[in-house]
Chain A
Amino acid sequence: MSTAAVARRPRSQLGPALVMIAPAALGFLVFYLYPTLRGAYLSLTEYNVLGSPVFVGLRNYVDMVQDDVFWNAVRVTLLYVVLNIGFQTVLAVGLAVLMHRLTKSVLIRGSLLLPYLIANVVVALLWYWMLDYSIGIVNAVIDAVGLPQVAFFGDETWTVATIAGVNTWRHLGYTALLVFAGLQMIPASVYEAAAVDGAGEWRTFWRITLPLLRPVLVLVLVITVTGAFQVFDTVAVTTGGGPGNASRVLQLYIYEQAFARGHFGYASAMSVVLFLILAGAAFAQMRLLRAGESDLT
Chain B
Amino acid sequence: MRLTWGRVLAWAVLWFFVLATVLPFYWMLRTALSDNHALAAQSFSLLPADLTLGPFERVFGLATPEEALAEGGSGASLDFWLYLRNSLVVATAVTVGQVLFSSMAAYAFARLRWPGRDAWFAVFLGALLVPPIFTSLPNFLTVKSLGLLNTLPGIMLPSLFMTPFAIFFMRQFFLGIPREIDEAAMIDGAKPWRIFFRIVLPISAAPVTTLGILTFVTTWNDYFWPLLVGQTEQSKVLTVALGVFRSQTPQGAPDWAGLMAASLVAALPVMVLYAVFGRRVINSIGFSGIK
A24 to chain B minimum Cβ distance, whole angstroms, is 4
Shortest C-beta distance, B189 to chain A (Å), equals: 8
Beta-carbon contact of A20 and B112 below 8 Å: yes
How far, in angstroms, from A53 to B237 measured CA to CA in the complex?
31
Chain B residues whose CB sits within 8 angstroms of the CB of A122 once the complex forms: 239, 242, 263, 266-267
A144 to B24, CA, bound (A): 19
**Prevailing SS type, chain B contact patch:** helix
Q: Which chain B positions have C-beta within 8 A of A115?
A: 21, 24
Chain A 229-250, CB within 8 Å of chain B: the 1/0 string? 1101100110000000000000
Q: Mark A1-39, 1 if CB is under 8 A from B, else 0.
A: 001001100111110111111011111101111111011
Interchain CB contact under 8 A, A129 and B243:
no
Which stretch, A105-113, A156-164, A288-296, touches the partner chain B?
Answer: A105-113
Cβ-defined contact, B142 with A35, below 8 A: yes
Q: For the complex, is A49 an interface residue (Cβ under 8 Å from B)?
A: yes
A237: chain B residues within 8 A (beta carbon)? 223, 242-243, 246
Does A216 contact B287, Cβ atoms closer than 8 Å? yes
Decide: B24 and A126 in contact? CB cutoff 8 A.
yes
Q: A32-B127, A33-B127, A279-B129 are in contact. Are A137 and B162 (CB under 8 A)?
A: no
Quick check: B28 and A126 within 8 Å, CB to CB? yes
Scan B21-48; emit 1 where CB is below 8 A from any A CB, else 0: 1101101100100000001100110000
Query: Which of A119, A130, A271 interacts with B24 by CB under 8 Å?
Result: A130
Which of chain B's residues have a CB closer than 8 A to the CB of A255?
Answer: 224
- Most-contacted residue by chain A among B25, B187, B266, B282 (CB, 10 A): B282
State which of A23, A91, A102, A134 has its C-beta within 8 Å of the C-beta of B40: A134
Return chain B residues, CB-CB under 8 Å to A181: 285-287
Residues in A with CB closer than 8 Å to B253 are 135
Give the complex CA separation of A119 and B117 in angstroms.
37
Interface residue total, chain A, C-beta cutoff 8 A? 101
Q: Are A114 and B21 in contact (CB under 8 A)?
A: yes
CB-based contact B138/A42 at 8 Å: yes
Q: Which of B12-20, B61-69, B74-82, B202-210 participates in binding chain A?
A: B12-20
Confirm or deny: A254 has a beta carbon within 8 angstroms of a beta carbon on chain B.
yes
Q: Determine whether B274 belongs to the interface, using a CB cutoff of 8 Å to chain A.
A: yes
Tell me the chain B residues, 99-157 only, with Cβ under 8 Å from chain A: 101-102, 104-105, 107-109, 112-115, 117, 120, 124, 127, 129-142, 144, 157
Are B137 and A3 closer than 8 Å at their CB atoms?
A: no
Contact of B250 with A by CB under 8 A: no
**Could you mark each residue 109-144 of chain A with 1 if its beta carbon is under 8 Å from any beta carbon of chain B, else 0?**
111111101111110011111101011110010001
B266 near A119: Cβ-Cβ < 8 Å: yes
- CB pair A13–B114 under 8 Å, yes or no, is yes
Q: How far is the CB of A279 from chain B (nearest CB, A)?
A: 7
Give complex CA distance A126, B228 in Å: 23
Question: Within the assembled complex, what's the spacing in Å between the Cα atoms of A271 and B13?
Answer: 41
| Residues on B with beta carbons closer than 8 Å to the beta carbon of A7 | 183, 187
Report whether A112 and B127 are in contact in the complex, using a CB–CB cutoff of 8 Å. no
Question: Given the complex, which residues of B lie within 8 Å of A36, measured CB to CB?
Answer: 127, 130, 134-135, 138
A136 to B137: give the CA distance in the assembly, Å. 37
Give Cα distance in the complex from A21 to B187, angstroms. 23
Identify the interface centre among A38, A119, A232, A251: most chain B CB within 10 Å of its CB. Answer: A119
**B107 in contact with A20 (CB, 8 Å):** yes
Give, as a whole number of angstroms, the nearest-CB distance from B287 to chain A: 6
Considering the complex, which residues of chain B in the window 200-243 have a beta carbon less than 8 Å from any beta carbon of chain A? 217, 220-221, 223-224, 227-228, 238-239, 242-243
Residues of chain B in range 246-281 having any CB-CB distance to chain A below 8 Å:
246, 253, 256, 259-260, 263, 266-267, 270-271, 274, 278-279, 281
> Are B43 and A135 neighbours in the complex by a CB distance under 8 Å?
yes
Specify the chain A residue showing the minimal Cβ separation from B28: A126
Contact partner, A24, options B21, B43, B161, B191, Cβ 8 Å: B161
B167 sits at the interface (CB 8 A): yes
Asked whether, in the complex, the Cβ of A117 is within 8 Å of the Cβ of B127, the reply is no
Q: Are B17 and A271 in contact (CB under 8 A)?
A: no
- Looking at B31, B137, B227, the one whose CB has the most chain A CB atoms below 10 A away is B137
Q: A42-B137, A223-B290 are in contact. Are A275 and B24 (CB under 8 A)?
A: no
CB <8 Å contact, B193 and A20: yes
12 pairs, A vs B, C-beta closer than 8 Å: A20-B193, A21-B109, A24-B102, A26-B161, A34-B138, A36-B134, A117-B271, A119-B223, A121-B266, A135-B39, A135-B256, A232-B224
Known contacts A117-B217, A130-B27; 18 additional CB pairs below 8 A are A17-B112, A21-B105, A23-B101, A24-B161, A25-B105, A28-B127, A32-B135, A98-B13, A106-B282, A108-B14, A119-B267, A126-B263, A140-B44, A144-B44, A177-B282, A230-B131, A251-B224, A254-B133
Residues of A within 8 A of B (CB): 3, 6-7, 10-14, 16-21, 23-28, 30-36, 38-39, 42, 49, 91, 94-95, 98-99, 101-103, 106, 108-115, 117-122, 125-130, 132, 134-137, 140, 144, 169, 172-174, 177-178, 181-182, 185, 201, 216, 219, 223, 226, 229-230, 232-233, 236-237, 251, 254-255, 258-259, 264, 267-268, 271-272, 274-275, 278-279
8 nearest A-B pairs in the assembled complex, by CB-CB distance: A27-B161, A35-B138, A24-B105, A119-B221, A181-B286, A24-B162, A16-B192, A23-B101
